[in-house]
Amino acid sequence: MDDLARTPRLSRRHLLRLASGVAALPLLSACGSAGTGASPTAAPAKPATEAKPADAAKPAQSAPAAKATVGEVNVAALFPLSGDLARPGETCLIAAKLGADDINAAGGIKALGGAKINLISSDLRSDDKVTRTETERILTSTKCSAVNGCYASALSLVASEVTEREKVPMVTGSITNPLIERGFKYIFQVAPRASQFGEAQVKLAQEVAGDQRRVAVVYENTAYGSSTSKGVQDEAQKQGLEVTLFEPYEKSFTDAGPLINKIKSGNPGVLFPISYPNDFALIVRGLKQQNVRVPIIAGGAGPLFPEFGRNFGDDANGVLSIGSWNKDLNADTLEIDKRYQARHGEFIQEHAGEVYVFMWTIADALERAGSADPEAVRDALAKTSLTTGFGAAMPNGKVEFDERGWNSGAFPVGVQWQAGDLVTVYPKEVAKAPIVKPV
């Protein structure tokens, strides 16, 4: 078993307590009446010195007069908490809970009389079939105003079919291109798209490797891997690069040896792996065992977790990746990371950081809608124009959706492990440190 698989995670018992502690709270109708009393999920009042959440809670437009006073507004947080994507899912759920707590501590949804966010969680088990049934179960048994999910693109594609049918808006950081290419009206993709990731990988490679023309691409055969690798392939062709290997593999494989042999025989000057954490760890370990020394520029996921630095130590330094978000981008992302570290004892990984942002984006829509009705929240999300606060804490400092439901100003960033920390190095307008060229 590889090191990442052995990395201590929240125990299953702890996860069940976290999920059930959220989901088992009294579920009040999103259109509940006044007089429900204080929400049992409400966080303690913030000290006067912690003014950030209150500042961030200000909506982009003036909120309408409250149409009703409700005790709670249900928001579903749907992530994998078991299976091969359990670790990313755990971090996302923690971030969603942190966002809900901070929103509640800042006064809740003021347009609804201070209604508290009640987070409804479910384990998608890293399985698209379970994702469908669990999303259906949650949305048909509980009045939810919005969904925040589902980390993996393959899971988000399935869940969004259900949210579209049930007419509940879904806010996601999944990057696969088809999410917003199906004509759906209830999907809101805040992150950059996978094709942008692939393009950015090639451009970052040119910053790192200069005139090196031979590159190799290995990717898991899922929606995330296929979309991102296509972006790499298209941009490589535009730049006249020689792709010595373009190789899919079965996700969650246990032996990287055959794949490493193919990489080695292609003798690339740059390697573009597009893999989730456990697979990425196997690839990096296999390269080391066979003494294949090649600059690595990943397509997100794999090296973006704290344990990659912990487990690989000095071997992690120099590894680059593309991501949607990083903790050091601006004052808001630094504050999010500070809050997460205080609760969980490690830095917040890219997608979990976005999940926290999405909670505030949903809260902003609830404020402007003046209603917990999912149709009204959907319409408000479509008109989102956030430029300040936690709800806009993306690399471009803005969340605004086009007619397809995409935050079209979003762009990926390049990050690198340097001296045991993951720092933003690309593009120059958001870089916090220069790129250290790998040996």
pLDDT tens string 172-204:
999 999 999 999 999 999 999 999 999 999 999
* Euclidean distance between CA atoms 380 and 433, whole angstroms: 38
pLDDT tens string 5-14:
333 444 444 4
* CB contact at 8 A, 400 and 366: no
- Judged against a pLDDT cut of 80, whether residue 38 lies above it is answered with no
- CATH number of the structural domain 194-323+413-426: 3.40.50.2300
pLDDT tens string 260-292:
999 999 999 999 999 999 999 999 999 999 999
pLDDT tens string 72-119:
999 999 999 999 999 999 999 999 999 999 999 999 999 999 999 999
Confidence of residue 30 (pLDDT cuts 50, 70, 90): very low
Task: Please tell me the predicted confidence (pLDDT) of residue 148.
Answer: 98
Predicted structure pTM score: 0.84
Q: Where in the chain is the domain with CATH 3.40.50.2300?
A: 10-192+328-400, 194-323+413-426
How high does pLDDT run on average in the chain?
Answer: 87
Task: Please tell me the predicted confidence (pLDDT) of residue 68.
Answer: 52
Each as own residue / partner, the long-range contacts of residues 262-265 (CB below 8 Å, 24 or more positions apart, any chain) are 262/218, 263/216, 263/218, 263/287, 263/292, 263/294, 264/290, 264/292
- CATH number of the structural domain 10-192+328-400: 3.40.50.2300
247 SS3 class: strand
- Given the DSSP bridges, would you call strands 187-189 and 320-323 parallel, antiparallel or unpaired? unpaired
The amino acid that residue 126 corresponds to is S
